[in-house]
A and B are shown apart, each in its own frame.
Chain A
Amino acid sequence: MPELSLAERPHQSERPQSERAMIEIRDVTRSYGAFKALDDASLTIKEGEFFSLLGPSGCGKTTLLRMIAGFDNPTSGSIAVGGQPMDGIPANRRPTNMVFQSYAIFPHLNVEQNVAYGLKRLKLQGDEERRRVEEALAQVSLTGLGKRGATELSGGQRQRVALARALVMRPKVLLLDEPLSALDKKLREQMQVELRRLQQAVGITFVLVTHDQYEALAMSDRIAVMFGGKIAQVASPKEIYQRPVNRQVADFLGGMNFVKAEIVEENGASLVLDTLGFGRVRTDKPKAFVRNGGQATLGIRPERLRVLWDNATAKFEVAGKVVERHYFGEITHLIVEIPGLEKPLSVTETNDFGADDIPVGAPIRLAYDPEALVAMAD
Chain B
Amino acid sequence: MTAAAEGSPPLRMTQVRRSALLQSEPVQGFALISPTFLYALILLVLPILVVFAHSFWTQNYLTIDHTFTLENYRVALTEPIYRDLLWRSLYISLTVSVLTVILAYPIAYFISFHGGRHKSLWLFLITIPFWTSYLLRVMSWKVILGYNGVLNSGLMGLGIIDEPSTALLYNSSAVIITLTHAWATFAILPIFVSLEKVDRTLVEAATDLGDGPLRSFLRVTLPLSTPGVVSAMLIVMIPTVGDYVTPKLVGGKDGVMIANAIQAQFGKASNWPLGAALSVTTMVIVTLMAGATVLIIRAAQRLAR
The verdict on A169 contacting chain B, using a C-beta distance below 8 Å, is yes
Contact of A91 among B201, B202, B208 (CB under 8 A): B208
Residue numbers in B under 8 Å from A169 (CB-CB): 209-210
Q: Are A102 and B199 in contact (CB under 8 A)?
A: yes
Residue numbers in A under 8 Å from B216 (CB-CB): 92
Q: Are A102 and B201 in contact (CB under 8 A)?
A: yes
Q: Are A113 and B305 in contact (CB under 8 A)?
A: yes
Residue numbers in A under 8 Å from B206 (CB-CB): 106, 117
C-alpha gap A165/B209 in the complex (Å): 8
Quote the shortest CB–CB distance from A118 to chain B (angstroms). 3
C-alpha gap A174/B229 in the complex (Å): 36
C-alpha gap A122/B210 in the complex (Å): 9
Q: Are A104 and B199 in contact (CB under 8 A)?
A: yes
Residue numbers in B under 8 Å from A104 (CB-CB): 199, 201-202, 204-205
* Binary interface encoding of chain A residues 91-104 relative to chain B, with 1 for a CB under 8 A from any of its CBs, else 0: 11100111010101
Residue numbers in A under 8 Å from B29 (CB-CB): none
Q: Are A69 and B208 in contact (CB under 8 A)?
A: yes
Residue numbers in A under 8 Å from B205 (CB-CB): 98, 100, 104, 106, 165
Q: How many B residues face the partner with a CB closer than 8 A?
A: 20
A192-210 with Cβ < 8 A to chain B: none
Q: Are B199 and A92 in contact (CB under 8 A)?
A: no
Q: Are A121 and B208 in contact (CB under 8 A)?
A: no
Residue numbers in B under 8 Å from A113 (CB-CB): 305
Main secondary structure of the interface of B (DSSP, over half): helix
Q: Smallest CB-CB separation from B215: which chain A residue?
A: A121
Q: Are B202 and A106 in contact (CB under 8 A)?
A: yes
A108 in contact with B204 given A92-B211, A121-B215, A169-B210 (CB within 8 Å) = no
Q: Are A100 and B201 in contact (CB under 8 A)?
A: yes
Quote the shortest CB–CB distance from B212 to chain A (angstroms). 6
Q: Are B202 and A92 in contact (CB under 8 A)?
A: no
* Binary interface encoding of chain A residues 115-127 relative to chain B, with 1 for a CB under 8 A from any of its CBs, else 0: 0011001100000
Q: Are A118 and B210 in contact (CB under 8 A)?
A: yes
* Binary interface encoding of chain A residues 264-302 relative to chain B, with 1 for a CB under 8 A from any of its CBs, else 0: 000000000000000000000000000000000000000
A114-145 with Cβ < 8 A to chain B: 117-118, 121-122
Contact of A121 among B204, B211, B223, B224 (CB under 8 A): B211
The verdict on B98 contacting chain A, using a C-beta distance below 8 Å, is no
Q: Which residues of B come within 8 Å of A, CB atoms? A: 199, 201-202, 204-212, 215-216, 219-220, 223-224, 301, 305
